[in-house]
Amino acid sequence: MLLTNLLKTSTFRLAVIYLALFVTSVIALLGYIYWNTAGFLARQTDQAVEAEIQGLAEQYAQGGLPLLVHTVIQRSRDPRQSLYLVLDPRGNMLAGNLDSKPAALQGPDGYVEFNYQRRTMEGVERHAARARYIELPEGFFLLVGRDVEERRNIESLITASLIWAVALTLGLGLIGGLIMSRNMLARLDDINRTSREIMRGDLARRIPVSGTGDELDQLAGNLNNMLEQIEALMMGMREVTDNVAHDLRSPLNRLRNRLEVTLMKPASEADYKDVLEKTISEADHLLATFNALLSIARAEARSSREAMVDVDISALVLDAVELYEPVAEEAELTLKADVPEGLKLFANREILSQAIANLIDNAIKHGRKGEEGGEITVKAALAHGRVVLSVSDNGPGIPEADRARVLERFVRLEASRNTPGSGLGLSLAAAAARLHNGRITLSDAEPGLCVTLSLPV
Amino acid sequence: MTAQPLLTHDVCELEPVTDKREGEERGKVRILVIEDDIEAATYVVKGLRESGHIVDHAGDGEEGVTLALSGTYDVMVVDRMLPKRDGLSVVEALRENADATPVLFLSALGEVDDRVKGLRAGGDDYLTKPFAFAELLARIEVLARRANPDSVQTKLSVGDLELDLLTRKVQRAGQDIDLQPREFRLLEYLMKHSGQVVTRTMLLENVWEYHFDPQTNVIDVHISRLRSKIDKNFGEPLLHTIRGAGYSLRAAD
């Protein structure tokens, strides 16, 4: 993976922004710590110096110069780190533990910062000091200060740790960001690579899911589901093509053979006419199959969803019943309708009509025939926010194992091979149910078959 | 632009309609076929001529408009997809020129939506490819008759069969015939097109308003029911089955 690639990722950009925010907070936090530690020490020193000057000034006021010098000599012996110096107007040292007046000038806060030589057991050390001086009347000079060497050391220690802390935060954040975006990028790369492989035709590929259930996993899961659906559709297409090939090829072949055989030897005009008529009827049958396939394709097309309007389902069902009533009667079946008035549904009238017609058609073909008591019942009802349409017969029915299969295109059970039909009637009804976001179920009408379309309002 | 014969096949050479009397002969319909598929056009033109009609052919939309505006036709058969100018725009152009010649669209696009578009553009009927020639012929003849509508009739009669649209009564030879509402509409449609062939699809579309073919021949059963009511027990049958095409209601000459 190229570094520039990495830097371009949105994850990395995000990581950098977070890092900047984080570093700012860290600096603010450390600043506060600094103010509370090193700053506190500095303020304490200054307060101590101030207090001492105050004290000495009071001594001077009470006992004049001699008391001051006496006090300073006494205090100078104190092993603590206070520094004193009292000079006469000519600059001679009267008392104190400093060698000379510091060369540095008084700062704006009234303090001088300087270095001095401190005598210790081990010898002379150069120490940092901070002091304040006042001019006494008659040209005398008093300086009170503190050795701040130790404080300086603590300060620089604190400063150093703070700088290190910021540097570490920056470094770790940067590395963390890089690692995070690398991981993210690696997973996105997986998705991209898999997509490319799928585009190249390997439809069986799936995007790896890490199992953490995060957004990327959800994305991968959704993409995988989509692929599943696409693959199922492709499989369906292939199956349909195979079925079309099978179901259209045999009649086409028959048609061709018949014409060929007729042409082999001279025949009478009546014979020719007969063959031609048979050919036309076969072609019509082929066309009917073709149209049924087209209807299903249409029901599955998006445009059918756009052609939806408010449909009076009651009227639609009753019209279909009325259309088939004479046919049922001819087949010695009773066609009953149990349809309440005023059922409405936002639907594709054409496709739904055809689906209902197909169901009634099927029931007439497969219902109990030639015997007494053959009956077909068409029901419509509104239940739990769904329009439920059902067509049931009291014929032989369909064994449970075959029920799912008959919804597929061209499936005609062996038992019904001899009845006319394309094997597409139920497929269209199933497609119509899908178009209306509903479902189709086949159940046992005890005896017989009951096909139910359940369509959400 | 003059009409250029696109078809070289002898049956399909263009015969511009010049002799008006020929077109006025009984039953003869002057038809303009605008279709770019030469084989399909040949077959349609040949079939229509053999059925006794006078047919011109245009191979693209531009030529179609020119021919349509220069000639007088009773019916036009227009393919939806044409070179230079598509079928819809051809018909729109004609309608803008106040040409009300009935138009039958031929199309491989069979969706309800396309049908609606065709009819909205000014078409009068719509036939999806592939179609049976008998279906096309029946529809053309119905359209040709519609071009000269008789004054609004409230009573229809064929032979001794009478249908009153206002009282909704049907009588044959003075005898009342009781019909269901749908049977009444079926008979009404047949009577309005008496003497013509109406196909099963035409009946489904116009009487039931279904634009699909049911798997079973439901129309045949409805017709036989109607026939048993209007023809049974009466001497001469009026409702005839036309083999390979459909039905025709007519009295013997």
DSSP string, A209-267: --SS--HHHHHHHHHHHHHHHHHHHHHHHHHHHHHHHHHHHHHHHHHHHHHHHHHHS--
- pLDDT for position B11: 37
- pLDDT for position B253: 63
- What is the interface pTM, i.e. ipTM, of the complex? 0.74
For residue A417, pLDDT beyond 80: no
**DSSP of A158-188, one letter per residue?**
HHHHHHHHHHHHHHHHHHHHHHHHHHHHHHH
Last residue of a domain, one of B146, B175, B198: B146
Return the percentage of chain A with pLDDT > 90, whole number.
Answer: 3
Q: Best interface-test mutation with A: which of B221, B222, B225 has the largest number of A CBs within 10 A?
A: B221
Q: What is the distance, to the nearest Å, from the Cα of residue A452 to the centroid of all Cα atoms in its chain?
A: 38
Lowest mean per-residue pLDDT among A8-17, A68-77, A205-214, A265-274: A8-17
Last residue of a domain, one of B146, B173, B204: B146
For CA atoms A204, A210, A214, A216, give the dihedral sign: negative
Same domain for B137 and B17, yes or no, is yes
- pLDDT for position B187: 92
Residues of chain A with CATH 3.30.565.10: 303-456
**DSSP of A420-433, one letter per residue?**
---S-HHHHHHHHH
Please state the domain count of chain B: 2
Q: Which residue in B184, B128, B229, B88 sits closest to A291, CA to CA? A: B128
Same domain for B34 and B138, yes or no, is yes
CATH no. for A303-456: 3.30.565.10
Same domain for B41 and B76, yes or no, is yes
Report yes or no: B120 and B61 within 8 Å, Cβ to Cβ. no
> Averaged over A141-150, what is the pLDDT?
84
Residue A249: which pLDDT band, with cuts at 50, 70 and 90? confident
Q: What is the distance, to the nearest Å, from the Cα of residue A323 to the centroid of all Cα atoms in its chain?
A: 52
pLDDT in tens, A184-210: 778 888 888 888 888 887 778 888 887
Over chain A, what is the mean pLDDT? 81
Same domain for B39 and B116, yes or no, is yes
- pLDDT for position B1: 41
Q: Which residues contact B185 (CB under 8 A, 6 or more apart)?
A: B207
Same domain for B119 and B180, yes or no, is no
Report yes or no: B62 and B69 within 8 Å, Cβ to Cβ. no
Q: Answer yes or no: is B4 within a domain.
A: no
Question: What residues of chain A lie within 8 A of the CB of B211, using their CB?
Answer: 350
Same domain for B24 and B141, yes or no, is yes
Same domain for B136 and B231, yes or no, is no
List the domain range (segments joined by +) for residue B214. Answer: 155-249
Same domain for B35 and B122, yes or no, is yes
pLDDT in tens, A5-57: 767 777 778 778 888 888 888 889 888 988 888 888 888 888 888 888 888 88
Distance CA B253, CA B231 (A): 17
What's the Cα-to-Cα distance from A208 to each of A185, A189, A220, A226, A230, rounded to whole Å? 14, 11, 7, 14, 18
Same domain for B18 and B99, yes or no, is yes
Residues of chain A with CATH 3.30.450: 10-160
User: Considering only the top CATH level, what class is A10-160?
Assistant: alpha beta
Token digits for A449? 């078959």
Same domain for B81 and B196, yes or no, is no
Residues of chain A with CATH 1.10.287: 215-300
- pLDDT for position A423: 66
Helix or strand holding residue A60 (H, E):
helix A10-77
Q: Answer yes or no: is B2 within a domain.
A: no
Residue A444: which pLDDT band, with cuts at 50, 70 and 90? confident
For residue A291, pLDDT beyond 80: no
Q: Answer yes or no: is B5 within a domain.
A: no
Question: What residues of chain A lie within 8 A of the CB of B224, using their CB?
Answer: 326
Distance CA A41, CA A130 (A): 13
Query: Is B112 in Cβ contact with A327 (below 8 Å)?
Result: no
Q: Answer yes or no: is B225 within a domain.
A: yes
The segments of chain B whose pLDDT lies below 50 read 1-25
pTM equals 0.61
Alpha-helical segments (H) within A265-332 = 269-300, 303-306, 313-330
Q: Is B181 on the interface with A (CB under 8 A)?
A: no
Last residue of a domain, one of B123, B146, B169: B146
Lowest mean per-residue pLDDT among A366-375, A426-435, A448-457, B136-145: A366-375
> Higher confidence at residue A3 or residue A91?
A91
Instruction: Work out the angle at residue B39's Cα, subtended by the Cα atoms of residues B33 and B44, and round it to the nearest 5 degrees.
Output: 40
Look up the CATH number of the domain holding residue B210: 1.10.10.10
> Higher confidence at residue A124 or residue A167?
A167
Same domain for B41 and B106, yes or no, is yes
Query: Is B222 in Cβ contact with A357 (below 8 Å)?
Result: no
What number of helices (H) and strands (E) belong to chain B? 9, 12
- pLDDT for position A317: 92
Q: Best interface-test mutation with B: which of A323, A353, A366 has the largest number of B CBs within 10 A?
A: A323
Look up the CATH number of the domain holding residue B39: 3.40.50.2300
Q: Answer yes or no: is B112 within a domain.
A: yes
Distance CA B154, CA A269 (A): 47
**DSSP of A387-414, one letter per residue?**
EEEEEEE-SS---HHHHHHHTSTT---G
Q: Does domain A215-300 have CATH number 1.10.287?
A: yes
Question: What residues of chain A lie within 8 A of the CB of B246, using their CB?
Answer: none
